[in-house]
Structure 1
Amino acid sequence: MLAPERRTRADVLAACAIAVAVLVAAGVIWLTGDARSTESVTATHPATPAESATAVPDTLTEAWRADSDASRAPVSAGGAAVTANDDTVTGRDPRTGEALWTYRRDRALCGVIGAWNTAVAVYPDDRGCGQVTQLDGSTGVRKAQRSSDADNPVTLSEDGTYLTSLGDTRMELWRSDLVRTLEFGRVDAPVNPGAQPRTGCTLLSSASSSSRVSVLESCPDEAAVRLSVLNPAPKDNSAPQEYGSRVLDEAGRAGSGARVLAVSGERTAVYVPATRTSGPVVAVFDGTANEVARHPAPADVAPTTVVTRAGSFLSWWTGSRVISLRTTDFTPGWSIDGALGPGTPMAGQFLVPVDGGVVVVDPATGAEVRRIAVDRSGTATPAAGGRPVTSVALGSVLLEQRGDELVALR
């Protein structure tokens, strides 16, 4: 029979040393890691899902407002109105503005967007705006997270299937679990060298659908901007699959004002400013980047032009008016002059913000149904150098993003 093992004094000292090393390592990770610099307070009770409004209110009065400098448009998710200010994302009761949940980190937000009934918050690190956290809209509970290389700043957009993060040199698309489906442009440490179709290009604008993502880029040694139509989820996310790519000779170089307006199905709409030989147009391209149609466009399109989907049509805010675009072929329909932003559907009508109020529009004809007075005193209008007034209906509450504030109207 073997003699029982006996612990020596050296064994005990070695075990203690290992334990101390583990504790020190854990302390260093805590002191330097993201967990220590993150504060998450989830909701005591989930937000109540918003029921669709049955009618547009007769009056609209401010119910509450909150700072939201990291959002470009109202964010609603899981029944909550979401504000994003400085370093904190807050889910609020849309009727009262009461905070239901908060999520904070020790760095200022790059941006927040609503997608898939969640709020997706993007924070910076030393690689750009690539620290991404998905928060359940009703509770603030953390869901998926990701970290990757990115530009700073980035523009966030979503199409219902994919979320796009677009910077000057790099673009990524993510699916609902934040898994990357596409990287395009600059790759600092490529897994597959030479997989990107071009290098050194500046990315100007993009838009996506469930089957296509289109990006406008300005590349060295090319006389004009280039439109590329891509698969949003190729087999290898680091190797873009181009369905078509072409230089738009008449669109000029970067800074000319050309931009991707929208992608619907496989078709892409691009605003092309006036040239020496033609007036401004909305050029329509098929799924392989071949031009199939063009429609006259206004000459005074602002750099901050916005296109939003409004059910059966697209609402294009040009800077001074709203123009409806048919989703199938981008044919322009009715227009509303004096618009401050692209508007939003509510109770079967379409609401367009204008100076001193909201115009209620018949979405089928563009006919004005009535006007509701709204006091926006103190808000810089787009004509005065301010940002567009973007809006979203959340139940019977109309949310307006005015500059760096979110305002709720009831």
Structure 2
Amino acid sequence: MPPLRRRPVDLVVTALIVVAVVVAAVGIWYFSSARRTTLTPPTASPAAQPYPAQVPARLVHRWTAPSTATRSPQVTDSVVLTGDGGVVQARDPRTGQAIWRYERKIPVCAVLSAWSPTTPTALAAYANSRGCGEVTAIDAHRGTRRGTRSSDADKTVTLTSDGGYVLSIGPTRLETWGSNLVRGIEYGRIDARVKPDLGRHDGHGCRLKSGMTAGDRVAIIEHCDGDPGYRLTVIGAVLDKDEKIPSYGSTVITSGTAFAPPVVVGMSDSAIGVYDGGANTPEPTAAAIRTFDSDGAETGRHPVPGGAELPAGSESVAGEGLVSVWTGAATAVLDAISMVPRFTVAGTSGPGVALGESMLIPDPEGYLVVDAATGRRTGQIPVSRENPEVRDPIIPAAIGDGIVEQRGTLVSVYGP
């Protein structure tokens, strides 16, 4: 049998296939996020910061950096994360120098430190034409990519986590993700519902006001079409075996919507804490921390000093078995399991951060030191703050012997 010979047409077809493959590869690269991404890895691994045996006697300014993409300090045991413009950085807590840097040509909407200390991860949500749904996960210490995801999202989102599922929530929709970035649920505005859940509350026609996740559940304050007041809804963080969102409870908890909505300020596996300024009632009542069980049934109302709404920029801080929130009139400290207030401290400028048996609470002069169990004042640490003209709430976090503060769009670190 004579050997097969290539005809000219075979060579032309082969060339066309090669060209098509090259064009497709170039097209994928051109339109991918990688083409517009710069990731500068660290030259050395950051060291874990040892925590002091006692409260520091003084705090001196170390550095300040802009961070428009965070609402509270995002830290691991080794780095401070900041996000501004299109840049996310892991910074040395002592010097502020970038340990690694991730940059894209699109704005970063939100940055979260997640899954520490087991797998410390920086989550960065970037904005594209579909909203703030282009997410990159980066090893917070090594500066290497761990994964990406992209989905529909609102133009503004907040990222939160209790160490398990991450919640991304905007004004009209929310999602949860696991550590593999696989979506657990989507709720609210869904443009293409695969399985409409007829007859069940699914967030359609609702405006989402605040939310948190704990364990396998999500608590949401929302206002839905036709409701006379704001609603507390508790749903599952992951689909059930029938690929539906588990619904544990949904109840209207105010009798009006003329004033600011209540805010979810804390959540555990067994309880939900909600700040309610008391204005959305026929007869205005005192501000309170309202507590609910994990199904959304109310279990108590605990008056605290405060106004009709939380101050803009107020964020709760959780740690060491406590949750604290600044109401504008005082810092309320709650039990992290029951969400029942333990004590309040007046004359403060933000929530507190627990350090062993003490809690440091920011005030205009520095930090009040109080007993973490009783709220009894035991000391004062003077601080000469950078940019003292900034009047935003001071949201603190601890890293090693330093205190990280977020005030507005600035992150500052102070240490002995």
TM over 0.5: yes
Q: SS of the counterpart of 1:306?
A: coil
1:353: which partner in 2?
Answer: 362
1:310 to 305, 319, 323: 319
1:367: which partner in 2?
Answer: 376
- Structure 2 unpaired stretches of 5+: none
How far 1:331 moved relative to its partner? 2.3
Per mean C-alpha deviation after superposition, the further-off stretch among 205-214 and 269-278 is 269-278
Aligned mates of 1:313, 1:26 — CA distance in 2: 52
Aligned mates of 2:327, 2:369 — CA distance in 1: 19
2:220: which partner in 1?
Answer: 215
Q: 1:125 and 1:4, CA in 2 relative to 1: closer, same or farther beyond 3 A?
A: same
Q: SS of the counterpart of 1:244?
A: strand
Q: SS of the counterpart of 1:190?
A: coil
Q: SS of the counterpart of 1:29?
A: helix
1:335: which partner in 2?
Answer: 344
Q: Does 1:126 align with 2:139?
A: no
Q: 1:124 and 1:401, CA in 2 relative to 1: closer, same or farther beyond 3 A?
A: same
Q: Does 1:263 align with 2:267?
A: yes
Q: Is the 8 A contact 1:132 1:146 kept in 2?
A: yes
Aligned mates of 1:332, 1:188 — CA distance in 2: 41
1:387: which partner in 2?
Answer: 392
Q: 1:238 and 1:113, CA in 2 relative to 1: closer, same or farther beyond 3 A?
A: farther
How far 1:388 moved relative to its partner? 1.5
1:231 to 227, 236, 245: 236
Aligned mates of 2:249, 2:258 — CA distance in 1: 20
Q: Is the 8 A contact 1:324 1:334 kept in 2?
A: yes
Alpha-carbon displacement from aligned partner over 1:280-312 (angstroms, at most 9, x marks no partner): 332222222221211113342424342221312
Aligned mates of 2:241, 2:410 — CA distance in 1: 40
How far 1:156 moved relative to its partner? 1.3
Identity percentage of aligned residues: 35
2:167: which partner in 1?
Answer: 164
Alpha-carbon displacement from aligned partner over 1:230-263 (angstroms, at most 9, x marks no partner): 122232696321111111243x227433222221
Amino acid of the residue matched to residue 295 of structure 1?
A: H
1:191 to 186, 194, 219: 194
Q: Is the 8 A contact 2:306 2:329 kept in 1?
A: no
Q: Is the 8 A contact 1:76 1:137 kept in 2?
A: no
Q: SS of the counterpart of 2:35?
A: coil
Aligned mates of 2:149, 2:383 — CA distance in 1: 41
Amino acid of the residue matched to residue 261 of structure 1?
A: V
1:292: which partner in 2?
Answer: 299
Runs of 4+ with deviation above 4 angstroms:
none
Amino acid of the residue matched to residue 286 of structure 2?
A: G
Aligned mates of 2:291, 2:242 — CA distance in 1: 27
Aligned mates of 1:222, 1:330 — CA distance in 2: 27
Amino acid of the residue matched to residue 224 of structure 2?
A: C
Q: Is the 8 A contact 1:88 1:104 kept in 2?
A: yes
Amino acid of the residue matched to residue 197 of structure 1?
A: H
Q: 1:347 and 1:226, CA in 2 relative to 1: closer, same or farther beyond 3 A?
A: closer
2:181 to 178, 183, 195: 178
Q: 1:362 and 1:64, CA in 2 relative to 1: closer, same or farther beyond 3 A?
A: same
Q: Is the 8 A contact 1:360 1:371 kept in 2?
A: yes
Amino acid of the residue matched to residue 224 of structure 1?
A: G
Q: Is the 8 A contact 1:357 1:374 kept in 2?
A: yes
How far 1:155 moved relative to its partner? 1.3
Q: 1:151 and 1:166, CA in 2 relative to 1: closer, same or farther beyond 3 A?
A: same
Q: Is the 8 A contact 2:304 2:344 kept in 1?
A: no
Aligned mates of 1:175, 1:299 — CA distance in 2: 36
2:407: which partner in 1?
Answer: 402
Q: Does 1:272 align with 2:272?
A: no
Q: Is the 8 A contact 2:210 2:264 kept in 1?
A: yes
Amino acid of the residue matched to residue 2 of structure 2?
A: A
How far 1:174 moved relative to its partner? 1.2
Alpha-carbon displacement from aligned partner over 1:181-220 (angstroms, at most 9, x marks no partner): 1211111011112366242111111122114211111111
How far 1:169 moved relative to its partner? 0.8
Per mean C-alpha deviation after superposition, the further-off stretch among 264-273 and 212-221 is 264-273
Q: 1:212 and 1:62, CA in 2 relative to 1: closer, same or farther beyond 3 A?
A: same
Q: Does 1:344 align with 2:353?
A: yes
Amino acid of the residue matched to residue 352 of structure 1?
A: I
Aligned mates of 1:103, 1:35 — CA distance in 2: 11
Q: Report matched runs for 1:58-73 at 5 Å.
A: 58-73=57-72
Aligned mates of 2:358, 2:414 — CA distance in 1: 17
How far 1:104 moved relative to its partner? 0.8
Q: SS of the counterpart of 1:20?
A: helix
Amino acid of the residue matched to residue 374 of structure 2?
A: T
Per mean C-alpha deviation after superposition, the further-off stretch among 295-304 and 55-64 is 295-304
Q: Does 1:137 align with 2:140?
A: yes
1:151: which partner in 2?
Answer: 154
Aligned mates of 1:144, 1:312 — CA distance in 2: 32
How far 1:44 moved relative to its partner? 2.0
Q: Is the 8 A contact 2:306 2:328 kept in 1?
A: no
2:290: which partner in 1?
Answer: 283
Q: SS of the counterpart of 1:387?
A: coil
Q: Is the 8 A contact 2:73 2:396 kept in 1?
A: yes
What TM-score results when the alignment is normalised by the length of structure 2?
Answer: 0.92
- Structure 1 unpaired stretches of 5+: none
Alpha-carbon displacement from aligned partner over 1:133-163 (angstroms, at most 9, x marks no partner): 1111111111021111111101111111111
Aligned mates of 1:357, 1:128 — CA distance in 2: 39
Amino acid of the residue matched to residue 14 of structure 2?
A: A
Q: 1:3 and 1:18, CA in 2 relative to 1: closer, same or farther beyond 3 A?
A: same
Number of residue pairs matched by the alignment = 404
